[in-house]
Chain A
Amino acid sequence: MSDANNTPLTLVVLVKHVPDVQFDRHISQDSLRLDRSESVLSELDEYAVEAALAIVEDNGGFAAGHQVIAATVGPSSSANSVRKALQMGASSGLHLNDDAIAGSDTVATSKALAALVSHVPNVDLVLTGMASTDAETSVIAAQLAERLGFAQLTHAQSVEFDAAQREVTIHREHGDQRLTLKAALPAVLSVTDQANNPRYPNFKGIMAAKKKSIEEVDLAAVGLSAAEVGTEGSTTSVLAADKRPSREAGTIITDSGEAGIALVDFLAEQKLI
């Protein structure tokens, strides 16, 4: 067995607190920012937490000294999504909470996240979901790889982790191809909802999470100034965000044997055929 095999792994899972997609979501007309009340852990991040826990379990468990750190950037309420990850089984939490961060776009957010990841010594792997369920830009993982100088393995539909070789292999779709990709650690890994089935926190997990710590840090602690994030540190500027008129129900008919013809009549009327 090589020495590398015995080195405990440090995995950082990025989690995001997002407005629940089951409710109506709003963009404030004053701030042009998303209303973040009624927020939950972004469902797609649960797959990243699960992937991290599976890597630890396949390599000797937490008893081997591995760490899964659930990290987030956001206001105080965001700690709830970290807590959910701790209940699933992450070992500790890390929360960058600073008023100056509000209004950050992807360029500024990835800057804050990269600084937060760098705050953790010797990170082997950063894991994220395939997208957040609010902004849905799906670009943060790539931006983190760029900023941290880590290998980029994104949109993984399956993950194989080789602790001895310190390599990650993934499968992903790419246009009309299915690819198998491999990179050496350290890496940024994003996983899709095809990668695994996230576990539900059980009673034991919920109780254990109460004893786990969430370290809260501000911008200064991760070496950033207020001007580097928020609106000032962003490269985009949002001018307006208008609610589209909601779609309305049109004609509803019940099939009595001729609905297929009615469907074609509708297509012809709308010049779709």
Chain B
Amino acid sequence: MSSALVFFSHVSTVPSKAQRELLTLASRFENPTVAIASVPGEEALKVFGSYGIATVLQAENPQASFGTHELSVLDAALQHTDADLVLLENDSFSRELGARIAVRRNAAIVTDVIDVSADLIATKDELAGGYSASVKSATGVLIATVKPNSIEDAPLDCQDSVEVKNLELAAPLVPAVSIVAADQKEASDRPALSEARIVVAGGRGVDGDFSAVEDLADALGAAIGASRAATDAGWISHDAQIGQTGVTVSPQLYISAGISGAIQQKAGMQTSKFIVAVNKDMDAPVFEIADLGIVGDLAKVLPQAAAEIRRRQA
């Protein structure tokens, strides 16, 4: 049986949904261990315990050089645990850490993973979800970055105590990248786009006004996304862009409003469980992949749906 190491750059007061999915996956293997490139709080440790994590390896981040500390922690944790499965989040920063360590330690790096079997075969998306591939490590160690919404979050029925160890780090070997400035983005109460259960996305058809999209998203507790046309027009922040060069989402429900559904957009959302599309143009390509297609005006359909949801939930 294989032993698993989960790596997080940082954990908030409690682990995020995507992080809990990684903990769930790790709990299926022996000796699940968490390594963090910062110092987690008591509450986070308690959550780790509920997934059967026995050991947490930590090292406070001196914030000296961008990415360097995280790289050192992951490297040291892998050496310390001798794990043959390393699980990371699927964001670009985590992927790059995993990929560098794969080079350094002659390990396999597999991105966009949706599951890992007991014999360490990773299942992953290829060609924007058009294919599903099975990949294993040829060298013994598998480093997998796991897509959010792929593993069902399921804490174990236990509350084990967690042993916390400070990692000893060797002096970093990589050239420094200095952090000149760090600006905090505006905080939002909505779920993070990449891990949201429901996403409502608007495109060219919203014509500069995202209020109907926001209204329906609020009624559903959903995250808000956008097509590139909408972000390029400056109607909404680039962070909301779904597609090949933006965020890839795989929610339970994706509601597409006023988006034609060109290939680059489709690449970012076609692995959603259910797709609902609202568009004035009955020939919009998005209707070819929608479970429910509504030919109509999003400025009428979305508010009506939002009001109906609120009415039923009242």
Taking a contact as CB atoms closer than 8 A, the residue among B98, B131, B276 that contacts A27 in the complex is B131
- Is B154 close to A, CB under 8 A? no
B100 near A138 with CB under 8 A, answer no
Interface size of A by CB at 8 A reads: 84
Taking a contact as CB atoms closer than 8 A, the residue among A110, A237, A272 that contacts B198 in the complex is A272
Known: A146-B100, A154-B96. A263 touches B301 (CB 8 A): yes
Known: A139-B95, A235-B137, A237-B136. A178 touches B185 (CB 8 A): yes
- Is B295 close to A, CB under 8 A? yes
A183 near B177 with CB under 8 A, answer yes
Residues 222-252 (chain A) with a chain B CB within 8 angstroms? 234-244, 247-252
By a CB distance below 8 angstroms, the chain B residues around A244 are 129-132
B126 near A236 with CB under 8 A, answer no
B92 near A155 with CB under 8 A, answer yes
By a CB distance below 8 angstroms, the chain A residues around B252 are 272
Interface size of B by CB at 8 A reads: 90
Instruction: Determine the distance from Cα of A241 to Cα of B134 in the docked complex, in whole angstroms.
Output: 6
A242 near B294 with CB under 8 A, answer no
Q: Which residue of B lies closest to A255 (CB)?
A: B296
Instruction: Determine the distance from Cα of A91 to Cα of B65 in the docked complex, in whole angstroms.
Output: 34
Instruction: Determine the distance from Cα of A272 to Cα of B97 in the docked complex, in whole angstroms.
Output: 36
A176 near B294 with CB under 8 A, answer no
Closest beta carbon of chain A to B93's beta carbon, Å: 6
B289 near A247 with CB under 8 A, answer yes
A152 near B239 with CB under 8 A, answer no
User: Looking at the complex, which of B24-32, B103-111, B162-170 is the stretch in contact with chain A?
Assistant: B103-111
B220 near A255 with CB under 8 A, answer no
Q: Which residue of A lies closest to B309 (CB)?
A: A264
By a CB distance below 8 angstroms, the chain A residues around B171 are none
A139 near B187 with CB under 8 A, answer no
A146 near B103 with CB under 8 A, answer yes
> Beyond A107-B108, A263-B278: 8 further Cβ-contacts under 8 Å?
A25-B127, A138-B92, A180-B182, A237-B135, A238-B133, A254-B295, A262-B292, A266-B292
- Is B128 close to A, CB under 8 A? yes
Q: Which residue of B lies closest to A176 (CB)?
A: B185
